[in-house]
Amino acid sequence: MANDNRKTLTKADLAHFTGTETWYRHSFVRKVLYTEGVLHVAEAGGAYWLLDELALAQVHTPAVAGEPFQVWTLKVNEDHTAMLTCEDGNKKVVFTKRIEFTDFPLDEISLWFTDNVILLPSEY
């Protein structure tokens, strides 16, 4: 993608990802991998920071690391603040973080984490 700072991610884009042929390794939490769909979210949505949040929580937040299946949801407000939430897959919240500013282009996105892999729900 051209480095022009435009966020081009749309919800329709995400529907095209139904599996992955390539795994990408997180740059500093090396045990964490992510899929082609998640790479697209990071690139088209300017959201490598979101991958960092998920990966770092696996190392620094025991309540998160103890969950074998995680549902992460980012909800963006009109004032560009957001709430990042991690649930255990059964609607039990194990982590929340207020994001003071984001220009993430979607109002909401969910990512799943299991077996050390970040993936889109459609890629499961």
Q: Is residue 15 part of a domain?
A: yes
Instruction: Give Rg (Cα) of the chain.
Output: 14
Q: Is residue 3 part of a domain?
A: no
Question: What's the pLDDT tens digit per position in 27-80?
Answer: 999 999 999 999 999 999 999 999 999 999 999 999 999 999 999 999 999 999
Q: Is residue 107 part of a domain?
A: yes
Provide the domain limits for residue 16.
11-122
6, pLDDT greater than 90: no
**Overall number of domains in the chain:** 1
Q: Is residue 4 part of a domain?
A: no
CATH code at position 83: 3.10.450
Q: Is residue 2 part of a domain?
A: no
Question: What's the pLDDT tens digit per position in 87-119?
Answer: 999 999 999 999 999 999 999 999 999 999 999
